[in-house]
Structures are given as structure tokens and as C-alpha cells.
Amino acid sequence: MKIAVWGNELIGWTAATAFAEFGNQVHVNQDLDRQQSLSEQSDANTILFNEPGLLTHVKAQYHQGNLIFGSPADALNCPIQILALNPDQFELAKDIIRAVNHQTQQQLVVINYSTFGLGATDQLAELLDSNKQQAIAYIPDQLSEGSAYDNFIKAKTLVIGCQSNEATTQIKALYKPFSRQLEQLLIVKRREAEFMKFAVNGMLALRLGYINELANLADQLSIDIDTIISGMGSDPRIGKHYLSPGCGFGGAHFSKSIQNMAELLSTNRNSIILNTLLEENEKQKVLPFRKLWQHYKTDVKQRKIAVWGLSFKPNTASIQNAPSLQVIKTLLAQGCQVQAHDPQAILNFSRQFPVNGQISYYDKAADALKGADALIILTEWNEYWSPDYYQMLELMKSPVIIDGRNIMDKELMESFGFTYYGIGR
């Protein structure tokens, strides 16, 4: 099958590569005006750089001839069109639909992965010609950055928002290679699928926000939040998912989706529940600095602070909306010397915070500890969970640890002689 993928979002690159690996011929384009080679797109593409292994998959399919970076005119002739555009590219989406409608005389299926907002896919549907058997569906993006490719090819749930039986049949056939582990297939209306995307992310955010509020309260009441989480998670009505307190959530897509849902609730229901959650999440991001500030009784100027973890989550180089941005900005503003480490995100982070007399970056986590007055952990990378504690004590000037992800055992750290601060511990 010939497929065109438009846009530079993670879901677009992931879907394009996965469909190409299963025998489809996939055209990849960014806009209608000009073609861009793979090298042009990959050199300046943070999506491909940030997602582990994705660029390798893309290059493999390109060399096999299954991924094509050709002219936009060729892409417009494909019978399946996929929109994977940035949320602010709705006008481009409409231009693509108009161009496809003008150029093609064949049956057409459009799949919209883009998060434009509630009702956007219906607006795009109005630009199609139903007399030509043209139809559009919305499929919510359920990828998690850091494991996007596996999420796609081993999907547990597939939601297809579509009012056309014929188009739904084609989409199910297209997804058949990825449906072997499917546990649930939902066929709904386009607006319902869009709403579902916002509702799911909103619920996850509420769980994260609530457990952070409980953890902050537990701090004040001298209660260990881990004990509370064990009790909550054992209740089958609640479960254990998204009950890990920390220094706030980040990521471009997750945050944007919650903002969209917050706007819907505010506009239609005069509800501020998600607006409040987003505001509190921003406060949560600087909580590690506040703990440092309190420990040193506001005397932090010129202190060396090691920071482990710059990406917004493990297994990605993305720093979009990451707590590290807020924490390090505050550390620098307070005159601290920052010594930072991250397995993948240093290049991205150093573009915003270049090396100077106040901030430096290290290839090894241990090297960032030399002479440090404290260590702040902001991302739960695997290599941070069980470090060499004796080496840490030798390297650090003051054995103070502020664990923004609760990855270390408090009792163990204190038995080694560390002063340990967690979130709700």
C-alpha cells in the first residue's frame, strides 16, 4: 500500500517506519512546498535524535527503499494520507486535505494523529469529497517517549474514531501486523476519539498531581509516602499506575494534551481543576531546590551542586518541560555552581545552558560529584538507582542527597552517612 505521512511528530516517524517494515511504500514529507532528503530532515530533527533507536529504524527502511523522501506531488497521490503535524499546524493540515482532494480521483483514507483539539478532525472531514469515497479517521496517539516503537508495534489498545465503515475496514487491515497482542479495539466517532485522548491524559495527570500533594503533606506530617502508596496500590479500585511522587511531570505532548483539556473544561464547564493541577506541577518542579535552600538555611551561593538527570523522563534526550530546566535556572540565579550529568540529554540541554563559569557537564555521573555540596536527582535513569555509595562519599564535599524521584532507599542512604531528602520521605 502507498502511504503518505505529513509532519514531524514522534507518532508520524514511528508509524511511517513501522508501516514501511511491513511492506508498505511510505512517503515522508514535512510540507507542501518542497521535498527534503533524509539527511536534511534527520540532521536538524530533535524527534529522531531524542527517541532511542528510531533513527536506526528509519535509515534501515530508507536504504531498503520502503521509506521515500520524494516530492510532495507524489505523496499527494497516495490512497492513504497520514497527518502527524504539530498542534499549531492546523492550517497546513487543511491545505494538505485540499491539495489531496484536488489531485486524487481514487478512494482516499486520511488518518489524523495530530492533536489539534476537539472537533478538528470533523472540520477536516468537511474538506473531503464523500462522492469520491474519501473519509477521515482520528486515532489517538498512545505512544510513550523512550519506547515509542515498541508501543506502536505491540499495541494493547487501538481506538479508531471514524464514521465510515469502509475506511475503518482499511485501517484495521493496515494495523493488522500490529494487532497480534491487541486486547481492545474500539470503533468510535471522531470527536469521541479526540475527547478520549484528552480524558486519558487528564486522568493520568490528576493521579500524578494527587500523589505529589499527598507526598508533600506526608513530609509535613513525618509520614513515609511509600507506605501510603503500598496501601493505595493494593486497593483494586486504585491500582499502582502513576502513583510515583516526584518533582513534576514534563514532556511536550503530555503537557499540551492536558492544557487542551484544561481549556475545554474551563470554557465549557468553568472548571479550573486541570488549570490548578498545571500550576501546582510547575511549583513541584522547583521542590528539589527548595529542599536544598532549606537544608543550607538559604546560604547556597557559590555552592557546588551536582545534578543527575536533565531529560524529562528516562530513555529520551528530550528536555521539553523538564523539571531540570526550572531547577538549574534557579540554581544559577542563586549563584550556585552546577555540575550536571545525563546519559542522553546533555547536548540538548547545553544549547539552552551553554558551558560557562557556572555550569559544566560530565560524561560520567561520578565525575559530576567531585567537590559537590549536594546531589540533586531529577530523572530516574537506570544507572542512578544503585551507584557506588563509598565512591560518592569520597567524591562529595558534603554527603547531601535530594532525590526528586525517590529512587534510593532512605534508610540505606542514612546508614552510609548521607543526609537524604526524598519527596514525602
- Grade residue 366 by pLDDT with cuts at 50, 70 and 90: very high
Which band of pLDDT confidence, cut at 50, 70 and 90, is reported for residue 414?
very high
C-alpha span between 30 and 9 (Å, rounded) = 10
Return phi, psi of residue 112, to 5°: -105, 115
Q: Which pLDDT score, from 0 to 100, does residue 407 have?
A: 97
CA distance between the termini of the chain = 55
| Nearest in space to 100 (alpha carbons), one of 137, 67, 126, 72 | 72
Phi, psi of 136 (to 5 degrees): -130, 145
Phi, psi of 134 (to 5 degrees): -100, 135
Q: Convert 112-122 to b/e letters by CB count within 10 Å (16 or more is b).
A: bbbbbebebbb
pLDDT of the residue at 305: 98
Q: Copy the grid coordinates of residue 178.
A: 500490529
CA of 420: how far to CAs of 227, 292, 295, 334, 339, in Å? Answer: 17, 11, 10, 22, 19
Q: Check whether 39 has a pLDDT greater than 80.
A: no
Kindly give, in sequence order, each residue whose CB lies less than 8 Å from that of residue 50, ignoring residues fewer than 6 positions away. Answer: 145, 316, 317, 318, 344, 348
pLDDT given at position 132: 80
In this prediction, residue 45 carries a pLDDT of 61
pLDDT value for 46: 72
pLDDT at 36: 77
pLDDT, tens digit, 9 for 90 and up, residues 85-108: 998 899 999 999 999 988 766 789
Reported as a single tens digit per residue, the pLDDT across 382-405 is 999 999 999 999 999 999 999 999
pLDDT in tens, 185-239: 999 999 999 999 999 999 999 999 999 999 999 999 999 999 999 999 999 999 9
Q: Is 100 helix (H, G, I), strand (E, B) or coil?
A: helix
Question: Residue 56: CB partners within 8 Å, gap ≥ 6?
Answer: none
pLDDT tens digits, residue range 47-67? 888 888 998 999 999 999 999
Between 285 and 44, the more confident residue is 285
Tens-digit pLDDT profile for residues 239-296: 999 999 999 999 887 888 899 899 999 999 999 999 999 999 999 999 999 999 999 9
Contact 114, 88 (CB under 8 A): no
Inform me whether the pLDDT recorded for 128 exceeds 60. Answer: yes
- CA 194, CA 256: separation in Å to the nearest integer? 14
pLDDT at 173: 96
Among 43, 148, 47, 134, CA closest to 96: 134
- Condensed to tens digits (0 to 9), the pLDDT of residues 282-333 reads 999 999 999 999 999 999 999 999 999 999 999 999 999 999 999 999 999 9
The pair phi, psi for residue 395, each rounded to 5°, is -80, -35
The pTM score is 0.89
Q: What per-residue confidence (pLDDT) applies to 43?
A: 56
Cell 479508531, residue located: 160
Contact between 114 and 35 under an 8 Å Cβ cutoff? The reply is no
Largest CA distance in the chain: 75
Can you give 210-270 as a three-state secondary structure string?
HHHHHHHHHHHHCCCHHHHHHHHHHCCCCCCCCCCCCCCCCCHHHHHHHHHHHHHHHHHHC
Q: Is the model's pLDDT at 38 over the cut of 90? A: no
Report the share of the chain in percent with pLDDT over 70: 98
At 42, the pLDDT band (50, 70, 90 cuts) reads low
The pLDDT of residue 159 is: 98
Q: How confident is the model at residue 41 (pLDDT cuts 50, 70, 90)?
A: low
